Amino acid sequence: MLFLSFFVFRLAAQDSEFGRHSYVIRGVVYVDLEPIYWGHVDEEYPLEIPTASRRALEESAMFYSAMIYGWSFYYEPGERARQIEENLELEPAGSIQFGDPSLRVTDTELKDMQFAVWTDYHLSDIQQRRLQAWRSGTTRNAQAVGFGPVGSMEEYPGWLAVRQVALEDAARIALRTMLRGSERNRPKEITGIISLASFPRFYIESGRWAASARFRVQINEIIPFAVY
């Protein structure tokens, strides 16, 4: 715990070095120190600052991964008349790990039992080119609110997995909404790449985590039902 506290505040002290980097993206994560949701009290309650700090950095790494690398996706919108269920499969195109030296804390704030952690991520040349590609004119913008899983306490997958499920559900709804607005006929399958445009916002709704997120979408192929 003492090591993690030192790690967080040492990173914050390195803020003066940021000017030497050519390209930086930023985000903020909020960690509840008294997390109660889905009728579940977390395994550590209330959270100590070192635990909250580590969670914020792990969550930030997940979001930066989704912003820079995104996910390749296979999406079936589904159709009730044909008894085809909606299905979205996501595969991360890359990942940023906890402890990555390019992910640095710039500020922290504790207010009303909520711990806020602001971070910067310093892009390599390759990562910068990937992000610039996401911002090209061939990508589409989409946004939606998704929700975490519903189940018993025995099925509780853990704090980060719950947020990931809510984020992936937001991606599913964003894709569905975007395609409904652009495709005259419902397609059978769509493949492409989707990335986060910015850090999502999480909140509790009806006892579940909700994720409000903005995405960038690159469509690679749309397969109509007529092909079959």
Q: Which residue in 28, 30, 27 sits closest to 209, CA to CA?
A: 30
Reported as a single tens digit per residue, the pLDDT across 17-45 is 333 445 999 999 999 998 776 566 666 78
Residue 23 identity: Y
State the pLDDT at residue 157: 67
Q: Which residue in 34, 42, 96, 38 sits closest to 70, CA to CA?
A: 96
Q: Decide: 78 and 84 in contact? Cβ < 8 Å.
A: yes
In the block, tokens 């192929």 appear at 221
What ranges in the chain are assigned the alpha helix state H? Answer: 2-13, 49-68, 125-134, 159-182
* For the chain, domain boundaries: 2-227
Sign of CA dihedral 68, 201, 59, 144: negative
State the pLDDT at residue 79: 76
Range with top average pLDDT, 14-18, 58-62, 220-224:
58-62
Q: Could you check whether the bond before residue 46 is cis, i.e. omega within 30 degrees of 0?
A: yes
Reported as a single tens digit per residue, the pLDDT across 74-102 is 999 977 777 778 999 999 999 999 999 99
Is residue 16's pLDDT more than 70?
no
Torsion, Cα 117 3 160 125, to 10 degrees, reads 70
Q: Which residues of 3-36 are buried (b: 16+ CB within 10 A; e: fewer)?
A: ebeebbeebbeeeeeeeeeeeebebbbbbbbebe
Calculate the average pLDDT of the chain: 84
